[in-house]
Structure 1
Amino acid sequence: MSFTRRQILAGLAGLGIAGLGASGVRYWLGRPNEATSHDYELIAAPLDVELVAGHQTPAWAYGGQVPGVELRCRQGERLRVRFINQLEVDTTIHWHGIRLPLEMDGVPYVSQLPVKPGEYFDYDFICPDAGSFWYHPHTASAEQLGRGLVGPLIVEEREPTGFVHERTLSLKSWHVDKQGAFTEFSVPREAARGGTPGVLSTVNGTHAPTLELPAGQIVRLRILNLDNTLTYRLNLSAGEARIYALDGNPVEPRALGKEYWLGPGMRIELALKVPAAGEEISLRNGPLRLATLLSVDSGESEADWPSKLPANPVAEPDLQRAEVLRFNFEWAGMVSANVEQTGTHTFWQINGQAWDINDKTCADRPIATLKKDGHYILELRNLSQYQHPIHLHGMTFKVISSNRRKIEPWFTDTYLLGKNETARIALVADNPGVWMFHCHVIDHMETGLMAAIEVV
């Protein structure tokens, strides 16, 4: 591993960043004066935001907004981001769902050292797959994601897809009280169950917004679950919608149906046929309204459904020669012995091993070692009564079967493992490195439900 990209800032002068004083535009995403080393400068910094009407919440923001500013690049192109840490704590950026080199993965003490206050780190990688992805820290995750350090990353297809209109909808619930003050991001009794939920739902940082869409058009809705904990039961009150992609990977277009369960870290791309001007559709989580989609006159003729999206260049696993590995996700049934010294609990484990977030050497003891370019089937067994969105860094896998529901195989990086469910996923281990394998309910991850898988 190389840490040559990590540099200490003597100050922010010379980076081509304007307006970093106490007044004016302090936080932004912009292009530097000299684009020889990077294309964008992304700042993480404190920002007061009005989540609860009439009250300020001391959030942490990427690019001056929460959720963070939307980053975009084209499939196959290089994304070069100089990340500047203006917080008072260490942090990193993990690029969720992107198949990239290990040194760009953003896991402290595994792929890089933490980016300290006043420092920067240059992230530089190719985006091989088109789709909807996102970025967030992998340091003190419950607090840092909880305070707002999440943001969408959209990788556009190489060629036009037939979609003329699109909207990105970032879903996040906030751990705040009625005065907008943060409450606890992780409560032990909740972490030992389904996770600690937030209480204020937002879409793009606003509670129950009204979003205008062009009448008669097919709009690509990129819906991202950037929540610490909640699984959304997404549904629409009316209208016709078809699923075009799951977690950044195209699927054969099909009707949305009654609802789709979108776990933390997961994404879905819908094509919505917008009704006549003046009509409204509710985007809901079960019976609860998340946003109102208002049709407005566009002056455009009615559009047709686009063709299915082109497949991403993910290697197809050979199930006939694949080696089978089994992973049990289970409650540990105890509190860690060092909780009084560290404040850290252990509630969860994988194959009898619990990850200790205070131990910087955990990744030195991977739970499995895969041969590069080997074909594998991973059997995921949930031995608990709670759902676990299981996420694998660095690689994309194919969901092939479940004992609880019918599976139409698809490629993904995060699978929502239901209570008492056994699912089988398959992959080609084509990306060398030590990769995190964890539940994306953040306080499950931080209380043991994470491991490392090594590809050599």
Structure 2
Amino acid sequence: MTVGPVIDRRMFLAGATAFAMASGPARADSTPQLVARPGKARLLSTDYPETPIWGYNGGVPGPELRLKQGERLVQRLVNNLPQASSVHWHGVRVPNAMDGVPGMTQDAVPPGGQFTYDFTPPDAGTFWYHSHNQSTEQIARGLYGLLIVEEIDPPEVDHDISVVLDDWRLSETGAITEDFDRMHDWTHAGRIGNFTKAALLPQVSRLRRNERLRLRLVNVAVDRIMVIGLHGMAGAIVALDGMPLRVPERTDHVILGPAQRADFIVDVTAEEGEQALLAIHERDEAFVLSHFDVGASGQSVSRGPIAPLPPNPLAPLATTQGAQMARLVMEGGAMGGLRQGIWKGEVLSVRDLVAEGQIWTFNGVAGLPETPLIEVPVGEIVEVPMQNDTAFPHAMHLHGHHFQERLADGSLGPLRDTILMDRGETRSIVFRADNPGDWLLHCHMLSHQKAGMKTWIRVTT
């Protein structure tokens, strides 16, 4: 059965369209509010009606929150939805009580309730916020926005543009389909939509040759992996998941799993009268997500080399000596060979696990286990070798920390908060457990998380 229409290629050529944003209700004090409520957004062309969504302040993406590094963030979540909700500040090394995970760091905010988030992000970079309750549905309906923490000394660019990449599953009328609990999605690649959209903040329709851009690419899709190509632009990735690279990586594309981010600094190379493009590449096809018309040259030559961004307070590890090990084996899903798993302390067959909506396991356990994957004192180094014994890729996200991958030659890769693991892969992440509390470690293919792929670590004082 095909869900929804096959969106015509011409819709991909229309470029990004600004989503509607409505202001929240009046408030009695000066605390800024994120009001989670129903709204409408112009996702498709005017041949279709606006799409009913759930959004922060009624829009999608929600308000882009910008502050300077070292500034305090205070936002009050007001829940005007028919479901309980929360806000997770993805990639931000927040105090544990501000992490927004119901049942672990806070209670879910009920309909009509409120919760105030108050913290100071330590790192500059591109981050985002999203619901962490019933997130397979709530993010698919639009509950997300960007948090941009600007460097004290930012790079000199002509335009700083956030690019929010989402994947929507829409019906023939342009509405979001209500099939959030399809077991086929949960056991396979997840909720893959039929329309991919790029929202640009701010919208820029015209550029000049040799202008320099900072493009902050964020994949907010529930489950889709995206390969994004840059055309008519040349430059380098300067940050991944909000953390600066020591040396910018020159490339014209990036693979982003769900929740991953990449900051590019690029120069416009398209000639006057041509277009600079952002495209999504799938198999042997490419579809335009956004285009910029290129006008007269702003300057005769480009600005020269792209310098690294200023470093953040979190320094990459100099050594992993004495690291405590916590092995993680992923099993389950369709074609995964899983025969049984532990669910709420009881060993169940695959048939019984499916009946409970659980089909993926970490170390044989489906869903959140009673005991942590590892418990360590603050300051310890932890290594998590991860083995993907499933038939599908997984985007593994650790809350409250950034980690580095141990590469094949023994060196450590760049700081990340989400790592994309292909089927059959074995990879190892290493981090200093420097943030006290209980922290979630889960697959950010949210259909997989819903169906069992989550565990946690404990960092004690």
The alignment's TM-score, normalised by the length of structure 1, stands at 0.85
Which of 382, 386, 392 is equivalent to 1:386?
392
Which of 34, 37, 41 is equivalent to 1:42?
34
Q: Match for residue 454 of structure 2? A: 450
Q: Match for residue 313 of structure 1? A: 313
Equivalents in 1 of 2:96, 2:405: separation in Å? 23
SS at match of 2:139: helix
Q: Match for residue 350 of structure 1? A: 362
With over 3 angstroms needed to count, the CA separation of the structure-2 counterparts of 1:427 and 1:133, relative to structure 1, is same
Amino acid at match of 1:295: V
Amino acid at match of 1:374: E
Matched, 1:263 2:257: yes
TM-superposition CA deviations, 1:332-365 (whole Å, max 9, x none)? 636462765xxx411211111111xxxxxx4642
Quote the sequence identity (%): 34
Which of 196, 218, 227 is equivalent to 2:221?
227
SS at match of 1:390: strand
SS at match of 2:309: coil
Equivalents in 2 of 1:197, 1:61: separation in Å? 20
TM-superposition CA deviations, 1:398-453 (whole Å, max 9, x none)? 122159xx987100100111121111211100011111100100100000011111
Matched, 1:163 2:157: yes
TM-superposition CA deviations, 1:169-213 (whole Å, max 9, x none)? 00001111121122223421232121120111111189xx98433
Asked whether the 8 Å contact 1:75–1:158 carries over to 2, the reply is yes
Q: Match for residue 424 of structure 2? A: 420
TM-superposition CA deviations, 1:97-130 (whole Å, max 9, x none)? 0001111000012111111122211100110011
Asked whether the 8 Å contact 1:210–1:294 carries over to 2, the reply is no
Equivalents in 2 of 1:282, 1:142: separation in Å? 30
Q: Match for residue 15 of structure 1? A: none
Residue 297 of structure 1 and its aligned partner are, at CA, apart by 4.3
- 1:60-209 aligned at under 5 Å gives the runs 60-183=54-177, 184-204=179-199
Equivalents in 2 of 1:26, 1:194: separation in Å? 31
Range with bigger deviation, 265-274 or 235-244: 235-244
Which of 26, 36, 43 is equivalent to 1:51?
43
Amino acid at match of 1:371: P
Range with bigger deviation, 114-123 or 270-279: 270-279
In structure 2, the gaps of 5 or more residues are 1-19, 339-348
Q: Match for residue 378 of structure 2? A: 372
Asked whether the 8 Å contact 1:161–1:306 carries over to 2, the reply is no
Amino acid at match of 1:440: H
Asked whether the 8 Å contact 1:162–1:306 carries over to 2, the reply is no
Amino acid at match of 1:278: G
SS at match of 1:142: helix
Asked whether the 8 Å contact 2:153–2:310 carries over to 1, the reply is no
Equivalents in 1 of 2:26, 2:297: separation in Å? 33
With over 3 angstroms needed to count, the CA separation of the structure-2 counterparts of 1:204 and 1:26, relative to structure 1, is closer
Amino acid at match of 1:192: T
Equivalents in 2 of 1:293, 1:401: separation in Å? 38
Range with bigger deviation, 77-86 or 294-303: 294-303
TM-superposition CA deviations, 1:9-32 (whole Å, max 9, x none)? xxxxxxxxxxxxxxxx99426997
Equivalents in 1 of 2:207, 2:23: separation in Å? 27
SS at match of 2:312: coil
Asked whether the 8 Å contact 1:402–1:422 carries over to 2, the reply is no
SS at match of 1:167: strand
SS at match of 2:184: helix
SS at match of 2:138: helix
Range with bigger deviation, 112-121 or 282-291: 282-291
Asked whether the 8 Å contact 2:404–2:412 carries over to 1, the reply is no
Equivalents in 1 of 2:216, 2:89: separation in Å? 17
Asked whether the 8 Å contact 1:186–1:195 carries over to 2, the reply is no
With over 3 angstroms needed to count, the CA separation of the structure-2 counterparts of 1:408 and 1:254, relative to structure 1, is farther
Q: Match for residue 413 of structure 2? A: 409
Amino acid at match of 1:319: T
TM-superposition CA deviations, 1:236-292 (whole Å, max 9, x none)? 2343121111110111112114x3210000000111211343321221221222222
SS at match of 1:337: helix
Amino acid at match of 1:104: M
Equivalents in 2 of 1:338, 1:348: separation in Å? 9
With over 3 angstroms needed to count, the CA separation of the structure-2 counterparts of 1:153 and 1:423, relative to structure 1, is same
With over 3 angstroms needed to count, the CA separation of the structure-2 counterparts of 1:89 and 1:402, relative to structure 1, is farther
With over 3 angstroms needed to count, the CA separation of the structure-2 counterparts of 1:306 and 1:260, relative to structure 1, is closer
- 1:240-259 aligned at under 5 Å gives the runs 240-251=234-245, 252-257=247-252, 259=253
Equivalents in 2 of 1:450, 1:421: separation in Å? 18
Asked whether the 8 Å contact 2:405–2:413 carries over to 1, the reply is yes
With over 3 angstroms needed to count, the CA separation of the structure-2 counterparts of 1:363 and 1:301, relative to structure 1, is farther
Equivalents in 1 of 2:445, 2:288: separation in Å? 22
Equivalents in 2 of 1:279, 1:190: separation in Å? 40
Equivalents in 2 of 1:264, 1:248: separation in Å? 15
Amino acid at match of 2:44: V
With over 3 angstroms needed to count, the CA separation of the structure-2 counterparts of 1:189 and 1:270, relative to structure 1, is same
Q: Match for residue 331 of structure 1? A: 332
Equivalents in 1 of 2:378, 2:316: separation in Å? 14
Amino acid at match of 2:382: Y
Matched, 1:296 2:302: no
Amino acid at match of 2:330: F
Q: CA RMSD in A?
A: 2.5
